[in-house]
């Protein structure tokens, strides 16, 4: 747990310059050496950003000028929320360096485009150790751009770091999730999709919302829901047998699932389009729940609910979408308990 300066020994206040807020005096060097806060300047000074100033006021006995907070909130209405995200990691003892500070303190350190901060574990040396994670923070109502989130997570993961998202709600509560590119793959027998077309004439029913295949027509285990009389095929499975045009992308996505040797089944009970098995049903539980982008949550509040439900049934929630005509999958997961940075005020 981070500790502040001795009670009653106030420091500051800071003086504003064109780049932020400057703290002078012996405490400036101590703040950076012990906590990695701010950017060291000549003459024993430290450059702080507004969220760092507010954090230090709360936890380091840094004095603030009169009306400082109200004036800063005019400049940045989300300062309190940003500080809540910073507190959520720093109060438990993690070392957090804002992305803009990293590039000035350590120019050789690569920071992914879009990252807000880098996090070092509390047991790591900030100067010699490697960052454990890159972090973004968002409000719970903010819309999600799945393609952009995937690109950021892919870059962070390629650097050997965890991609963390801190979601801040209206009560300044913080919830942590991890995002990472996923490559779901199964071990089912390979399907020759072209051979499925030969079974199409045997389908029975209107076909617009599914169709029935009599049991004397053999289909791969991955296709259709088994019944005593045969198999029921949903709309997308019927379209694959019909070699229909892919109007909304769902047929192409199902084809990709089958090519990955996965066994798809309805994810209705879990609020998703599919649940995905690696092996035959009965041999194991489905490790993944998959939601296509057009059905996926539009904001972080909805995404949290979806991922929390998946975590509660020991599954990984995936969003599927296309980038340059290739299907990509992004996993949204709750971290282990020791990595859940939450607002300490709640």
Do 199 and 68 reside in the same domain of the chain?
Answer: no
The candidate with the shortest Cα–Cα distance to 54, out of 37, 40, 41, is 37
Average pLDDT over residues 305-329: 96
| Within-domain flag for 221 | yes
346 has pLDDT over 60 = no
Instruction: Look over the chain and give the mean of its residue pLDDT values, rounded to a whole number.
Output: 92
**The 3-state secondary structure of 201-251, one letter per residue:** HHCEEEEECEEEEECCCCCCCCCCEEECCEEEECHHHHHHHHCCCCCCCHH
Number of neighbours of residue 193 by Cβ within 10 angstroms? 15
Give the per-residue pLDDT at 241. 93
The CATH number of whichever domain residue 281 belongs to comes to 3.40.1350.10
In a domain, 41, yes or no: yes
Q: Is residue 165 part of a domain?
A: no
Domain endpoint, select from 48, 75, 102: 75
Label residue 344 by pLDDT band (50, 70, 90). low
Number of separate domains in the chain: 2
Torsion angle in degrees (nearest 10) through CA of 122, 155, 174, 332: -120
**What whole-number distance in Å separates Cα of residue 328 and Cα of residue 314?**
22
Task: Report d(CA 290, CA 185) in Å as an integer.
Answer: 13
Nearest to 119 by CA among 139, 138, 149, 99: 99
8-58, pLDDT tens digit by residue? 577 878 899 989 999 998 889 888 888 889 999 998 899 999 999 999 999
Residues 219 and 212: beta-carbon distance below 8 Å: no
- The answer to whether 181 and 154 are in contact (CB under 8 A) is yes
Question: What's the pLDDT at 104?
Answer: 85
Contacts made by residues 240-244, CB under 8 angstroms, sequence distance 24+: 240/193, 240/196, 241/196, 241/197, 241/199, 241/200, 241/203, 242/197, 242/200, 242/207, 243/197, 243/200
28 in any annotated domain? yes
User: Considering 75, 97, 125, which residue would you say is the last residue of a domain?
Assistant: 75
For residue 180, being part of any structural domain is answered with no
Flag whether 155 is in a domain.
no
For residue 334, give both structure tokens. Answer: 């709750």
Domain for residue 343, yes or no? Answer: no
Over residues 235-270, the pLDDT tens digits come to: 999 999 998 888 678 999 999 999 999 999 999 999
Using the Cα atoms of residue 146, residue 148, residue 153 and residue 155 in order, give the sign of their dihedral: positive
Question: Of 34, 52, 75, at which residue does a domain stop?
Answer: 75
Nearest Cα to Cα of residue 214 among 196, 233, 198, 197:
233
Phi, psi of 100 (to 5 degrees): -65, -30
Which residues span the domain enclosing 299?
Answer: 193-337
E-strand stretches of the chain: 15-17, 20-24, 39-41, 45-48, 95-98, 117-120, 133-139, 162-168, 174-182, 204-207, 210-214, 225-227, 230-233, 263-266, 274-277, 288-292, 316-323, 326-333
**329 & 202 share domain:** yes
- CA nearest to 286, candidates 306, 270, 308: 270
Question: For the whole prediction, is pTM greater than 0.75?
Answer: yes
Contacts of 198 (CB under 8 A, 6+ apart): none
CATH number of the structural domain spanning residue 41: 3.40.1170
Position 325 in a domain? yes
Report pLDDT digits (tens) over 96-106: 999 999 988 88
Task: Work out whether the CA dihedral 106, 166, 56, 338 comes out positive or negative.
Answer: negative
Better pLDDT: 315 or 341: 315
Same domain, 200 and 330: yes
Identify the three-state secondary structure at position 83. helix
Residue range 291-310, pLDDT digits in tens: 999 999 999 999 999 999 99
pLDDT exceeds 50 at position 5:
no
């Amino acid at each position: 747990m981070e500790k502040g300066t001795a009670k009653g020994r106030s420091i500051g206040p800071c003086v504003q310059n064109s780049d932020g807020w400057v703290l002078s005096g012996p405490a400036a060097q101590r703040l950076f050496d012990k906590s990695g806060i701010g950017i060291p300047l000549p003459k024993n000074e430290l450059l702080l950003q507004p969220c760092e100033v507010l954090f230090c006021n709360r936890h380091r006995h840094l004095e603030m000028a009169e009306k400082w907070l109200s004036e800063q909130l005019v400049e940045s209405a989300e300062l309190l929320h940003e500080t809540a995200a910073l507190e959520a990691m720093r109060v438990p003892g993690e070392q957090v360096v804002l992305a803009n500070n990293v590039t000035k303190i350590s120019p050789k350190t690569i920071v992914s485009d879009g990252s807000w901060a880098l996090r070092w574990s509390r047991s790591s040396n900030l100067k010699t150790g490697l960052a454990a994670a890159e972090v973004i923070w968002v409000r719970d109502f903010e819309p999600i751009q799945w393609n952009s989130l995937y690109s950021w997570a892919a870059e962070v993961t390629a650097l050997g770091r965890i991609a963390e998202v801190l979601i801040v709600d209206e009560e300044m509560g913080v919830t942590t999730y991890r995002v990472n590119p996923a490559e779901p793959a199964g071990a089912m027998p390979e399907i020759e999709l072209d051979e499925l077309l030969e079974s199409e004439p045997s389908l029975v029913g209107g076909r617009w919302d599914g169709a029935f295949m009599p049991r004397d027509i053999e289909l791969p285990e991955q296709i259709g829901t088994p019944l005593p009389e045969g198999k029921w095929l949903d709309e997308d499975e019927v379209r694959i047998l019909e070699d229909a045009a892919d109007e909304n992308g769902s047929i192409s996505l199902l084809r990709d699932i089958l090519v990955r040797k996965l066994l798809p089944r309805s994810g209705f009970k879990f609020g998703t389009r599919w649940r995905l098995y690696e092996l035959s049903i009965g041999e194991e539980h489905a490790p993944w729940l998959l939601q296509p982008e057009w059905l996926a949550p539009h904001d972080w509040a909805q995404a949290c609910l979806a991922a929390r439900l998946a975590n509660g049934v020991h599954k990984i929630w995936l969003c599927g979408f296309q980038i340059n005509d290739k299907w990509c999958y992004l996993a949204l997961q709750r971290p282990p308990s020791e990595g859940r940075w939450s607002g300490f005020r709640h």
